[in-house]
Structure 1
Amino acid sequence: MSRTLALITGASSGIGAAYARLLAADCDFVLVARRADRLSALADELRAAGAAVEVLPADLGNHDGLTAVTKRLAAGDVRLLISNAGDGGYAPLAEVAPEEIDRLLTLNGVASIQLARAALPGMLTAGEGTIVTVASLLAFSAGQSNPHMPPRTIYNAAKAATVAFTRTLAHELADTPIRTQVVCPGIVATEFAGGYGNIPSAMTAEGVAGASLAGLRLGETICVPGLEDQTAALEAFLAAEAALLAGGNRPTPAARYSHPHPQPTR
C-alpha cells in the first residue's frame, strides 16, 4: 500500500508534531520548522515507526525560508499539506515594532497562502490532495472586548484572513478532488506564545490534531475542535454573512445617513 507524502510546518512541537505522530502509520513526511535539533529528534521517532522523513529547517516568517518550502512543494509530490507554523506576537499595535508586522503577517497568514499555491498544481495533476491550515478561534474574536483575551490586532488580522481564504478556496476547488480545511482551536496546551496555553482547561495538541483528521473524514471545511454543535453555529454564522451582503448591497445609502446630524463637538 502506497504512503501519502505529507508536508507539515511548525512540526517541531505542539500541534504540528501531534499531526505527524497521528499520521505516522500512513504517511511519509517533509518536516518544516525553525529548530533543526527538534526536527531531527521527531524525524528519528517517526522513522522508528516506519515513516520516511525529510527534514527541512526553515523560518516561514522570512522570504528565504518561505522560498525554500515553496520550492520543495513545487516538486509536486506532496499530497497532504498541513500549515501549522505560527507566532502569537501578542501586543497592542502601538507596541509592535514596525519590522515585526511584516514577519507576523507573513508567518501567520501569507505563508499558508503561498504554500497552498505551491502545492496545488501537483495535487490537481495527480487528482488528489488535502490542504489543512491551522488558524485560531481568535479569528472570530474581533468584536469581543473580553479582558482575558490577549492583545491580538495583528494575529487576528492574519488568522481571520486565513479562515476567509480557506473557505473561499473550498468553493473554488469544489469541482476537484482537492479538500481544504481550516482548524480553529481555542486555547491549546503548547509552548505557543510563551506558554499561553498553560491552563487546566486547555485542549491538548493531540486533541486538536485528532479532531482535525476526524473532521476531514466528516467533510468539514471549518473544524472548531471544542465546539459541540458546530453545524448550528456555522449555519447562524453563514446567515449573518448573507444578511450583511444582501442588506448592504444597495444603490443608495441607508436611511440613517439621509437626515441632518449635529456637528461633532470639540
Structure 2
Amino acid sequence: MTTRPKALITGASSGIGAAFALTFAERGYDLVLLARRLDRLEEVAADAGRRGASVETFVTDLSSSDGLAAAAERAATGDVDLLISNAGASGYAPLRDVSAADLDTLWRLNSTAPVTLAHAVLPSLLAKGRGNIVTVASLLAFSAGVAAPGMPARTLYAAAKSATVAFTRTLANELAGTGIHATVVCPGLVATEWSGGANRNRPGAMSAEDVATATAVAVARGEAICVPGLSEPDALDQLQQAERTLLAAAGQSTLAERYATASS
C-alpha cells in the first residue's frame, strides 16, 4: 500500500487555509490541520476526509509563545512532508496605534511563526531528502514604497510579510540540491473572512480556492515565489535583476559622491 505524504497546514479553519486543506487532500495528502477554533477545524477535517485524506486536528494559538512552541513540537515529529505556514492576522493600523501587546503577538504570528516552524520541520525533511516548506506572505510585502489611495495602514504587517518573503527566498537558495523546496506565496486581494471580510465582495478579489490551486502547482514545480494573480513572470525576473544591480552598484568601499558633496 502506498503511503500518502502528510501536510501540516496552519490557519486551516477557514479561508485560504481551509482551501489548502481541501486542495492538498484531493492531491493525495493526509493532513495535520492547525488553528485556534476546534469547531471550524472539525468541519474542514470532515470535508477533507470525504476527499480521501486522513486528518488530525491540532488546536493552538500561534500568536502566543506557548502555542507556537506546541506547534513547533508537532512539526518536528518527523512525519510531515509539506509545511504550509498560512496563519496570520492583518492588524492594519498606524504603528503609533498598535499596543505593545499587539505588537508582540502580531509579529510572532505573521513573522516569527513561519521561521520557527520551518526550523522545526527542516531536520526531518533533510533526513528524508525531500519535502516542501511553504509560507504565505502577501503582495503588500512589496508595497513599502507605495503611498497610494486605498492602501491600508500596514507598517507592521508589511514589515512582517517582507521578512517572510526574504526568509523563504533565501531558504530556497540555501536548500538547493537537497531535494527540499521552499515557496513563498504572495496573494493579492482574496475573497475570505480576512480583515473582517472586507474583500469578500470586492472587485478583483481572487477566490481562496484559486490561491490554493496556484500554490499546489508552484509546489509541484519547486517555484520559490508564487504570485497567484501574476500571468507573466517577467516582473519577478525584473525584481531579481534589480536586486543584483543594487548589490553590484552599491557594494563599494568609498562614500558615494552624492553624499560626499551634500550640503551640511
Q: TM-score with structure 1 length normalisation? A: 0.95
Within the candidate set 73, 76, 88, 1:74 is matched to 76
Aligned residues of 2:182 and 2:222 also touching (Cα < 8 A):
no
2:221, 2:47 → 1: CA distance? Answer: 29
Match of 2:55 in 1: 53
* Amino acid corresponding to residue 18 of structure 2 in structure 1: A
**Alignment gaps of 5+ in structure 2:** none
Q: For 1:210-249, what aligned pairs fall within 5 Å after superposition?
A: 210-230=213-233, 232-249=234-251
Separation in structure 2 between the aligned mates of residue 50 and residue 260 of structure 1, nearest angstrom? 67
Q: SS of the counterpart of 2:57? A: strand
Task: Tell me the equivalent position of 2:121.
Answer: 119
Map residues 1-266 of structure 1 onto 2, 5 A cutoff. Answer: 1-25=2-26, 26-198=28-200, 199-230=202-233, 232-259=234-261, 261-262=263-264
Q: Deviations over 1:85-144 (max 9, x none)?
A: 000000001111111111111100110000000001111111111111110000000000
- How many residues align? The count is 261
Taking the aligned partners of 1:3 and 1:218, their CA distance within structure 2 comes to: 19
Measured in 1, the distance between the counterparts of 2:167 and 2:195 equals 24
Give the AA of the match of 1:3. R
Q: Find the aligned partners of 2:216 and 2:34 in 1 and give their Cα distance.
A: 19
User: For residues 120 and 109 of structure 2, what CA distance do their matches in structure 1 show?
Assistant: 16
Partners of 2:70 and 2:206 in 1: how far apart? 32
The amino acid of 1:2's aligned partner reads: T
What fraction of aligned residue pairs are identical, expressed as a percent?
54
CA distance in 2, matches of 1:260, 1:147: 33
The separation in 2 between residues aligned to 1:64 and 1:206, in whole angstroms, is 31
User: Which deviates further from its counterpart, 141-150 or 19-28?
Assistant: 19-28
Tell me which amino acid in the other structure corresponds to 2:4: R
| Superposition deviation, residue 260 in structure 1 | 5.2
Matched position secondary structure for 2:79: coil
Cα distance per residue 1:57-108 (max 9 Å; x no partner)? 1111111110111001111110010100000000001111111111111100
* TM-superposed deviation, 1:248: 1.2
Q: Could you tell me which amino acid in structure 2 is paired with residue 69 of structure 1?
A: A
| In structure 2, C-alpha distance between the alignment counterparts of 1:43 and 1:70, rounded to whole Å | 21
Give TM-score, length-normalised by structure 2. Answer: 0.96
Distance in 2 (alpha carbons) for counterparts of 1:134 and 1:34: 18
Instruction: State the SS of the aligned residue for 1:24.
Output: helix
- Runs of 5+ in structure 1 lacking a partner? none
**Runs of 4+ deviating beyond 3 Å:** none
Other structure's SS at 1:133 match: strand
The residue type paired with residue 221 of structure 2 is L
